[in-house]
Amino acid sequence: MCGIVGYIGSQQAAGIILDGLARLEYRGYDSAGMAICDGEKIRISKSVGRLKVLEELTHNGETMPGCCGIGHTRWATHGEPNTTNAHPHYNTDETIAIVHNGIIENYLALKEMLTKKGYQFQTDTDTEVVAQLLDYYYDGDPMMAITRMLHRVQGSYALGILFAQHPDRLFAVRKNSPLIVGKSPNGYLIASDVPAILKYTRNVFYVDNQEIAVLKQDQLNFYNIDGDEIEKEEVTIEWDANAAEKGGYEHFMLKEMYEQPKTVTDTLLPRIKDGDIVIDELNMTDDELAAVKKIHIVACGSAYHAGVTGKYVIEGMARVPVEVDLASEFRYRNPILEEGAMVVVISQSGETADTLAALRESKERGFKVLAVVNVVGSSIAREADSVLYTWAGPEIAVATTKAYSAQLIAMYLLAMKLAKVRGKIDDVELSAMIEDLKCIPSQIEMLLGNEKRIQRFANRYVGAKDIFFIGRGIDYSIALEGSLKLKEISYVHSEAYAAGELKHGTISLIEEGTLVTAIATQPELYPKTVSNIVQVKARGAFVLAVTTEGNDDIEKNADYVIYIPQTNPYFMNSLAIIPLQMFGYYVSVGKGFDADHPRNLAKSVTVE
Ligand code: F6R
């Protein structure tokens, strides 16, 4: 999604802004621009395409002198991706410039109102309306203009604002779209996402909804929507700045796949104490947990897939009924939440609009929400009643890998805790499970060692048109994620099916040479999945099987086999997903695509 960076301080702003925007490239964008105030005038440069076009246009910012500026990478929503619609946007006399993330829902009504008052518009964007609205309210007092504007606009926004008449100030405000302010030795920064400013500072302030930040070279103040000054807490970001660098890997995605052993360890170990699962963050007593009657897991994309795994594991282990919903469906389906239900939302970014809306919907109905979140201080983390952080660090590649792996661990921990307090597993079983979990990082490491073999296999399939993933039970949840990993970065059409469902229609799509990836890690379901392999083989499929060590007999039916080490069947997903991530990655690389920046996709989806 769009990215915002702004700077005011003792240094030249353009270089810092370009650097910050480069660190937000992973979010996805189609055009970029920046506005710099040189003390008198605001100058804007914008371009379509990659950021390097803007860098070339401005000679890496050198043609835009000034110590105060705002920059933006745009992912088009209103109006096609062209230079005119790219941000920043001016008011008519070019004395106000703004960058905007989000959507102004009432922009048409505002545009009509302003048009009647003689304003003319150059762009198709909702954002230009805000620039003109500020102009309309501006009478020399920028704070007054901003607060009045805030009372008129509806929708979601993070805004960076410059006024030419106040070259010593940068204004920022947000509602339902992330925005932070950073304090560095050389000035203050704004950003829509932490990695943009990590190089300059780890000391940040989270701007809350409808709060206004006023940044000067050596002063920072916050105000509420009425213009009253408020105090904000300074927070230190623990993320290591190197975590947001590629560190010699060709892509962030590859690097993040290799970080999974650490991610799993960091998410797991702090919650294991004296042979027990301790999740203090739940803020629930064992009795309260034992009394939970039903769990609703709500998430999007891969986080939803982690939730599907969670359903199988929690229901299987703890015998608590679990319903898993796509957040975009949950929020509009008037879900039945009954007394004793617990809502769990899962989100890497903590900013996904649909998941945030589902959280709010649940809270409005009086239900407590547990959020499984990766980004500390994100909207979902701040609005949830309790937060179980996945300690994956910054995830830069659009396609999630390490955060998903951490989400799986969170699901297992929750399941084990519930199973224990409900008396469904005893201490001996719990200890055995903990031991299995502790082995997962080294087992992932071992599977990552198969990289070259998987790359060779993937190279055979760069020309594939359709690829199917099948599995039963937990293996089905792995199939869902394996299929998404492949299709989102390689643009190969792929589908995941519960293996038993194939014969109800999908099997007609199988033809000579179609690749079917069959996941068969669950001992009880193994013979059934093998039968499904036989069925697709009979229709000409080429079968790649992912199964556990010891299941050598599968070679009688499958054409290519990837073995994964033994672990508790509930935890198989953490291992089986590794070769599937690698497969998706190498099909993408083999086709010459940029695996980190898949077309049409954004890292955090802050609009519906
Ligand atoms: C796929 C992927 C997406 C996200 C989804 C939810 O690789 O990354 O499907 O999982 O957009 O995002 P978060 O977890 O940030 O809520």
Residue 288 sits at φ, ψ, to 5 deg, of -65, -40
**CA-CA distance, 309 to 293, in Å (whole number)?**
19
Comparing 519 with 597, which gets the higher pLDDT? 519
603 included as an active-site residue: yes
For every residue of 321-379, which 3-state class applies, written as one string? Answer: CEEEEEHHHHCCCCCCCCCCEEEEEEECCCCCHHHHHHHHHHHHCCCCEEEEECCCCCH
Residue 230 sits at φ, ψ, to 5 deg, of -130, 160
Task: Determine the average pLDDT of the residues in 424-445.
Answer: 97
Give the length of the chain: 608
Task: Determine the average pLDDT of the residues in 280-286.
Answer: 91
Residue 606 pLDDT more than 80? no
Q: Let me know: does 197 contact 236? Beta carbons within 8 Å.
A: no
Dig out the tokens for 509 from the structure: 């799509």
**CA-CA distance, 30 to 48, in Å (whole number)?**
6
Our answer on whether the CB atom of 349 is closer than 6 Å to any ligand 1 atom is yes
Our answer on whether the CB atom of 303 is closer than 6 Å to any ligand 1 atom is yes
- Give the model's confidence band at 238: pLDDT under 50 very low, under 70 low, under 90 confident, else very high: confident
Residue 267 pLDDT more than 90? yes
Q: Let me know: does 6 contact 172? Beta carbons within 8 Å.
A: yes
Which DSSP string corresponds to 480-497?
Answer: HHHHHHHHHHH--EEEEE
Task: Determine the average pLDDT of the residues in 54-72.
Answer: 96
Dig out the tokens for 437 from the structure: 């979990």
Task: Determine the average pLDDT of the residues in 238-253.
Answer: 79
Domains of the chain, with CATH numbers?
A: 3-237 (3.60.20.10), 239-448 (3.40.50.10490), 449-592 (3.40.50.10490)
Chain centroid, CA 236 distance in Å: 21
**CA-CA distance, 173 to 159, in Å (whole number)?**
5
Query: Could you give the C-alpha distances from 530 to 112, 414, 473, 476, 499, in angstroms and in order?
Result: 64, 31, 14, 14, 10
Of the candidates 171, 142, 167, 138, the residue with the CA atom closest to the CA atom of residue 157? 171
Q: For residue range 325-335, what is the model confidence (pLDDT) as tens digits?
A: 999 999 889 99
Task: Determine the average pLDDT of the residues in 434-461.
Answer: 95
Task: Determine the average pLDDT of the residues in 112-133.
Answer: 95
pTM of the model: 0.82
Q: Let me know: does 191 contact 197? Beta carbons within 8 Å.
A: yes
Question: ω before 88 within 30° of 0 (cis)?
Answer: yes
Query: What kind and span of H or E run contains 149?
Result: helix 142-152
Of the candidates 420, 396, 378, the residue with the CA atom closest to the CA atom of residue 252? 396
Given 46, 420, 485, 603, which residue is catalytic? 603
Residue 252 pLDDT more than 80? yes
Q: Residue 135 in 3-state DSSP?
A: helix
Query: Could you give the C-alpha distances from 26 to 127, 146, 180, 397, 437, in angstroms and in order?
Result: 22, 30, 18, 6, 31
Our answer on whether the CB atom of 355 is closer than 6 Å to any ligand 1 atom is yes
Residue 117 pLDDT more than 80? yes
Give the CA radius of gyration of the chain.
25
- Looking at the DSSP bridge assignments, the partners of residue 96 are 163
Q: Specify burial of residue 538 (Cβ count, 10 A radius: 0-12, 13-18, 19+).
A: exposed
Distance from residue 373's CA to the centre of ligand 1 (Å): 11
Our answer on whether the CB atom of 405 is closer than 6 Å to any ligand 1 atom is no
Query: What kind and span of H or E run contains 117?
Result: none
Our answer on whether the CB atom of 379 is closer than 6 Å to any ligand 1 atom is no
Our answer on whether the CB atom of 176 is closer than 6 Å to any ligand 1 atom is no
Residue 389 sits at φ, ψ, to 5 deg, of -75, 140
> Which residue's CA lies nearest to atom 16 of ligand 1?
347
Q: Let me know: does 252 contact 195? Beta carbons within 8 Å.
A: no
Query: Could you give the C-alpha distances from 1 to 427, 577, 603, in angstroms and in order?
Result: 46, 26, 6
- Give the model's confidence band at 24: pLDDT under 50 very low, under 70 low, under 90 confident, else very high: confident
2 included as an active-site residue: yes
Q: Which of 438-452, 483-497, 501-515, 557-571 has the lowest mean pLDDT?
A: 501-515
Contacts of 173 (CB under 8 A, 6+ apart): 146, 150, 157, 158, 159, 161, 179, 207, 210, 211, 212, 213
Q: Which atom of ligand 1 is nearest to the CA of 303?
A: 10
What's the sign of the alpha-carbon dihedral 53, 54, 57, 61? negative
Of the candidates 130, 118, 52, the residue with the CA atom closest to the CA atom of residue 87? 130
Q: Which atom of ligand 1 is nearest to the CA of 485?
A: 7
The position carrying tokens 């990836």 is: 517
Q: What per-residue confidence (pLDDT) applies to 242?
A: 67
Residue 27 pLDDT more than 80? no
DSSP assignment letter at 296: E
Our answer on whether the CB atom of 302 is closer than 6 Å to any ligand 1 atom is yes
Dig out the tokens for 375 from the structure: 């980004």
Q: For residue range 547-566, what is the model confidence (pLDDT) as tens digits?
A: 999 999 999 999 999 999 99
Our answer on whether the CB atom of 399 is closer than 6 Å to any ligand 1 atom is yes
What's the sign of the alpha-carbon dihedral 321, 326, 331, 335? negative
- Mean pLDDT of the residues in the chain: 94
Residue 477 pLDDT more than 80? yes
Q: What per-residue confidence (pLDDT) applies to 551?
A: 97
Of the candidates 400, 378, 377, 403, the residue with the CA atom closest to the CA atom of residue 390? 403
Residue 537 sits at φ, ψ, to 5 deg, of -60, -40
> Which residue's CA lies nearest to atom 3 of ligand 1?
301
Task: Determine the average pLDDT of the residues in 431-443.
Answer: 97
Q: For residue range 34-56, what is the model confidence (pLDDT) as tens digits?
A: 999 999 999 999 999 989 999 99
Mutate which of 485, 605, 606 for ligand 1? The one with the most ligand atoms within 8 Å of its CB, which is 605
Contacts of 429 (CB under 8 A, 6+ apart): none
Residue 241 pLDDT more than 70? no
Contacts of 421 (CB under 8 A, 6+ apart): 286, 287, 289, 290
Q: Which atom of ligand 1 is nearest to the CA of 349?
A: 15
Dig out the tokens for 19 from the structure: 């650097």
Distance from residue 348's CA to the centre of ligand 1 (Å): 7
DSSP assignment letter at 208: P
Residue 140 pLDDT more than 80? yes
Dig out the tokens for 420 from the structure: 């224990």
Query: What kind and span of H or E run contains 232?
Result: none
Q: What per-residue confidence (pLDDT) applies to 315?
A: 98
Parallel, antiparallel, or unpaired: how do β-strands 203-206 and 187-191 relate? unpaired
What's the sign of the alpha-carbon dihedral 495, 515, 540, 531? negative
Phi-psi domain of 27 (left: phi exceeds 0; alpha: psi -120 through 50; beta: other): alpha
Dig out the tokens for 517 from the structure: 């990836």
- Give the model's confidence band at 607: pLDDT under 50 very low, under 70 low, under 90 confident, else very high: confident
**CA-CA distance, 435 to 153, in Å (whole number)?**
54
Mutate which of 194, 400, 597 for ligand 1? The one with the most ligand atoms within 8 Å of its CB, which is 400
Given 2, 67, 68, 300, which residue is catalytic? 2
Of the candidates 523, 600, 599, the residue with the CA atom closest to the CA atom of residue 568? 523
Task: Determine the average pLDDT of the residues in 300-323.
Answer: 98
Percent of the chain whose predicted confidence (pLDDT) is above 90: 86
Our answer on whether the CB atom of 374 is closer than 6 Å to any ligand 1 atom is no
Q: Name residue 154's amino acid.
A: Q
Q: Which of 146-155, 405-414, 592-601 has the lowest mean pLDDT?
A: 592-601
Residue 378 sits at φ, ψ, to 5 deg, of -70, 170
- Give the model's confidence band at 61: pLDDT under 50 very low, under 70 low, under 90 confident, else very high: very high
